[in-house]
Amino acid sequence: MARGDVFVSYCTRTDQGAAYDLVSHVETHGIECWIAPRDVQSGTEWAAEIVKAITVCKLMVLIFSPSANNSLDVRREVMIATQRGVRILPFRIADITPVASLEYLLAGHQWFDAFPPPMEPHYVRLYGCLNTLLATPTNPPQLSDHASSAAEAHHGPSQASLGIEPANLRRLKSVLAVYIGPFAEIAVHRAVASAPNVDALLHVLGGQIDSETDRRKFISACQWLRPSD
| Amino acid 141: pLDDT | 40
Helices (H), 135-222: 145-155, 166-180, 183-194, 198-206, 212-221
Which part of the chain is CATH 3.40.50.10140?
Answer: 6-134
| Amino acid 3: pLDDT | 59
Q: How confident is the model at residue 183 (pLDDT cuts 50, 70, 90)?
A: low
| Amino acid 159: pLDDT | 43
What length is written for the chain? 229
| Amino acid 137: pLDDT | 61
What is the amino acid identity at position 215?
R
What Å distances lie between residue 38 and 4, 33, 55, CA to CA? 12, 10, 18
- The beta strands (E) that lie in the chain are given as 6-9, 33-34, 59-64, 87-92, 112-113
Report the phi/psi class of residue 163: left, alpha or beta, with left for phi > 0 and alpha for psi in -120 to 50.
Answer: left
Contacts of 220-223 spanning 24+ positions with Cβ under 8 A: 221/175, 222/172, 222/175
Beta bridge partners of 112: 91
Helix axis angle, 183-194 to 198-206, nearest 10°: 150
Name the DSSP class of 89: E
Inform me whether the pLDDT recorded for 93 exceeds 80: yes
In CATH terms, the fold of domain 6-134 is Rossmann fold (3.40.50)
Highest mean pLDDT among 96-100, 141-145, 178-182, 190-194: 96-100
Q: How confident is the model at residue 179 (pLDDT cuts 50, 70, 90)?
A: confident
Name the DSSP class of 185: H
Express each pLDDT in 54-92 by its tens digit.
999 999 999 999 999 999 999 999 999 998 889 999 999
Arithmetic mean of pLDDT over the chain = 84
Share of the chain above pLDDT 70, in %: 85
What is the amino acid identity at position 100?
A
Express each pLDDT in 142-165 by its tens digit.
434 443 444 344 334 444 457 788
Q: Report the predicted TM-score, pTM, of the whole model to 2 decimal places.
A: 0.64
What Å distances lie between residue 69 and 90, 135, 195, CA to CA? 11, 29, 22
Q: Residue 139's CB: how many other CB atoms inside 10 A?
A: 16
